[in-house]
A and B are shown apart, each in its own frame.
Chain A
Amino acid sequence: MMITLTDLTFAYPQTAPVLQNFNWQIRRGERWALLGPSGCGKTTLLYLLAGLRFPSSGELLIDGESLSRPRPHSGLILQEYGLLPWATVRENAELGLQVHGFYGADGIHAPHGETAVTPNLLPWLERLGLDALSDKYPSQLSGGQRQRTAIARTLALNPDLLLMDEPFSSLDAVTRADLQKLTLELCAEQNLTLVMVTHAIEEAAIMGQKILLLGNPPIIKPLIIDNPKAGKKDYRDSQEYNQLCHDLRQRMEVV
Chain B
Amino acid sequence: MKKRDVILAAFGIFLFWQISALIVNRNILPSPLVVVPIFFRELLNGNMLSHALASLWRVVASMFLSVALAAPTGLALGQSKRFNRFFSPVIYLLYPIPKVVLIPIILLFFGIGDLPKIIIIFMILFFQILVLVRDQAAALPTELIQSVRSLGAGRRALFRFVYLPASLPAILTALRQSVGTAVAVLYITETFATQRGLGYYIFLNASTLFDYPTMYAGVLAMSLLGLGLYFSVDWLEHRLCKWQFVD
Binding site for B on A (CB under 8 A): 47, 50-52, 69-70, 72, 74-88, 95-96, 98-100, 102-103, 108-110, 136-137, 139-140, 150, 153-154, 157, 163
Contact = CB atoms under 8 A, between A and B. Distances in A.
Given A70-B150, A98-B161, A99-B152, A82 B246 contact: no
A74 B243 contact: no
Interface size class of B (residues with CB under 8 A): 20 to 34
Contacts of A86: 165-166, 168-169, 241, 243
B143 A109 contact: no
A96 B148 CA distance: 8
Given A85-B243, A86-B165, A137-B246, A78 B151 contact: no
Contacts of A153: 151
B147 A150 contact: yes
Contacts of B247: 140
Given A86-B241, A99-B161, A72 B152 contact: yes
27 contacts: A50-B146, A50-B150, A52-B146, A72-B152, A76-B146, A76-B147, A78-B143, A79-B143, A80-B143, A81-B141, A84-B148, A84-B162, A85-B243, A87-B165, A98-B161, A99-B152, A99-B153, A99-B161, A100-B152, A102-B157, A102-B160, A102-B161, A109-B157, A110-B152, A137-B242, A137-B246, A163-B150
Contacts of B156: 102
Interface of B: 141, 143-144, 146-154, 156-157, 160-162, 165-166, 168-169, 241-243, 246-247
B149 A52 contact: yes
Contacts of B169: 86
- The 6 closest A-B CB pairs, nearest first, are A76-B150, A82-B147, A81-B141, A81-B143, A109-B152, A96-B151
Contacts of A70: 149-152
Nearest to A163: B150
Give the secondary structure class of B's interface.
Answer: helix
Contacts of A137: 242-243, 246
A157 B151 contact: yes
Contacts of B148: 84, 95, 99
Nearest to A97: B151
Given A80-B143, A86-B243, A87-B165, 12 more contacts: A52-B149, A76-B147, A77-B147, A81-B143, A82-B147, A83-B144, A84-B165, A86-B169, A99-B157, A99-B161, A103-B157, A109-B153
Contacts of B166: 86
A244 B166 CA distance: 46
A85 B149 CA distance: 16
Nearest to A70: B150
B50 to A, nearest CB: 40
Nearest to A150: B147
Contacts of A136: 246
A99 to B, nearest CB: 5
A50 B160 CA distance: 22
B129 to A, nearest CB: 18
Contact of A52 (B141, B150, B160, B243): B150
A95 B158 CA distance: 11
A139 B151 contact: no
A78 B246 contact: no
B158 to A, nearest CB: 9
B243 A139 contact: yes
B199 to A, nearest CB: 38
A81 B157 contact: no
Contact of B161 (A69, A84, A108): A84
B245 to A, nearest CB: 10
A84 B163 CA distance: 11
Nearest to A102: B157
A137 B146 CA distance: 20
B165 A74 contact: no
Contacts of B162: 84
A81 B243 CA distance: 15
A81 B144 contact: yes
Nearest to B146: A52
Contacts of B157: 99, 102-103, 109
Contacts of A85: 243
B241 to A, nearest CB: 7
Nearest to B151: A96
A88 B243 CA distance: 8
A85 B157 CA distance: 17
B243 A99 contact: no
